[in-house]
Every structure is written in C-alpha cells, then in structure tokens.
Amino acid sequence: MGGPARVDTTRRSRCRVEAFNGVVMRMALLVLALGRASGSFGGGCGVGPPWPTGSAWMNTVQKWIRDQLVDHGRKLFDAPRERVRFTENDEADSLLNDLDQFPHAFVLACLMGRQMRREKACLIPYRFQQKLDGDFSIGRLAALSADDVRELMSKPEPLHRFLNVMSVVFHAAVCRIVDHYEGDASRIWKGRPSSAEVVHRFREFEGVGPKIASAAANCLARDLKVPFADYRSIDVSADVHVRRVFGRLGLTGPDPTVDRCITWAREHNPEFPGLLDFAPWDVGRKWCRPANAQCECCYMRNGCPAAKTGTE
C-alpha cells in the first residue's frame, strides 16, 4: 500500500500556494543576506545568532526543506478522513475503504503489493469478490482451500505476476486472520496500539517485509485515520519517486538507497518518520520527473540544490 490518499487540489491553486511559499523563502533569505551585510547577524559584533556559513548554511536550507516535507505530510495527516482512491475502480475502492465490514480486504490488498503497481494489487480482493458472487466475507474466504485460491487467482487471467507465491500468501493470510484475530482483521489495529505493534502484526503475515508492513501502518494512520498510540515505528515508503526527490533535494546523497531514505527520515522526524514520504512522492509524480523536471511549478524550487545548479 505504497501511496497514501492524495489531496486532490487543482494544479493552479497548488502553484499559487507554492509561489507564496517561494516568496516567503526568498524573503527569509533576503533578510539573512541583509543581516549579514549589515553585520546584525553575528559578523563579529556578537549581536544575534551567528550567520550560517558552510555546512551551517546547508543545514539552514535543509531544515527549510525538511519543514516543507513535514508541513505537507502534517496537512494530510490532520485532514478529515476522505474516501481513499486505491484504484481506478469505484467498487474496488468501496470494498477497501470499508474497514468495518471488510477489514480483511485492506489487509489482503496490502499483502498483494509485492512487485506490482499499487492500483493493480489493490484490485485483487475485488476480483475475488466478483468471482465469489459478491461474497467477500471472511467465512467464505476461509472455506477456500489453497488450491481454490490458486485457481481463483489464475483464471481466466492471472491476477498477480507471481501467481504461485501470492496465492500461498493470500491463503495463509486468511488462515492467520481466522486463527489469530477470530476472523476480524481490524483487531490488528483496534484499541490504539503502538505503531511498533501494528507494524509487527503485519510482519507476522507470510511474505510481509518491513516495507509493506510500514506502508500498511502508514496508510491506516494517515489516510484511513486509524488512531495509534504513537507513530514512531512507521517509516517512509521509499519508492522511486521518494528516492529521486530526496536525492535532488540534497537530503541524502544522489540516488539514495531505500535504507538511506529511511534512516534520514528517522533522524529528522523521529516522532513520525513516515510523515516525510507524502510530499516527495507527490512532487516526484507531478513535477520532479526522471527527465525534464518542471521546477518552475515545484514548491521546493527555492531551496532545491538540483534546481539551483540545473542538475535535476
């Protein structure tokens, strides 16, 4: 469940906000520059904070970038719950948004998200529902054998590129929900558990690594507004967009690994590292494309080293 619900503002209004943010950033830099010129920021007179130079200057810019990422993530987190667009299919989205009746649909969709686009993986529970004549109850799923699941997942067309592995994962997940959660998958997240506990519970499902577990917890917390006791154990989901934008913004080295993005986010927003992936994901999809980045429309442009040096 790599991506969260997206705030669907128009590009024009977004650009206006970004332009405003840019003005604020330029004014801040101008004030600092005037302060340096006049000696009012340090400069040996001992008045005010020292003028940032070298790595300190980089830290100032990096802090501004980090604050932008936090602000955008926080706005999404604080927004009221809206229907999440998991797929392009309204009925599939209804199934996945219905955490009261079909919490297992959300869990199964998360588990299917291996080596496959999120939109396609999230369709799999709905495809099962169609094939089971509309009955996606956990009881109906529990009545399926491993062979039944494989059959449903393979015909008439394969629902997943790793058919054998993922049909085992699907069947094992249904068994686990029945055996460990009395058939109610919402017990994974009910009662304000800690984020560490939720991530751990997802990781106990067969085939689930830290990336899927953290993305599932992030989607529950940020998009589906499920309250947790804390958010410290939810990491960024560092997909290609997040990694590219982290690199261009100079937060990490160029072409950072997934682990580097995760550790940077943990260090710079330890209370909720996963909050820092929405903005770069969004920027990466809209403007910071692999080629021909549209920096003129990106709200990061005033602090972005790649935009300044033309190395985007």
Which residues in this chain contact ligand SF4 in the complex, by CB under 6 A?
Answer: 245, 248-249, 283, 287-288, 293, 295, 298, 300-301, 304, 306-307, 312
Residue 264: both structure tokens together:
């940077």
- Counting Cα atoms < 13 Å in the Cβ hemisphere of 118 gives 20
Distances from the Cα of 202 to the Cα of 42, 170, 173, 211, 274, angstroms: 52, 13, 10, 10, 16
Distances from the Cα of 102 to the Cα of 98, 107, 213, 294, angstroms: 6, 9, 19, 41
Minimum distance from CB of 71 to ligand SF4 (Å)?
A: 15
Minimum distance from CB of 265 to ligand SF4 (Å)?
A: 16
Looking at the Cβ atoms of 102 and 246, the one nearer to ligand SF4 is 246
Minimum distance from CB of 14 to ligand SF4 (Å)?
A: 13
Looking at the Cβ atoms of 22 and 210, the one nearer to ligand SF4 is 22
Looking at the Cβ atoms of 107 and 238, the one nearer to ligand SF4 is 238
Q: What is the DSSP letter of 221?
A: I
In whole angstroms, give the CA distance from residue 210 to residue 261. Answer: 14
Looking at the Cβ atoms of 13 and 145, the one nearer to ligand SF4 is 13
Looking at the Cβ atoms of 80 and 310, the one nearer to ligand SF4 is 310
Q: What is the DSSP letter of 311?
A: -
In whole angstroms, give the CA distance from residue 103 to residue 297. Answer: 39
Minimum distance from CB of 235 to ligand SF4 (Å)?
A: 21
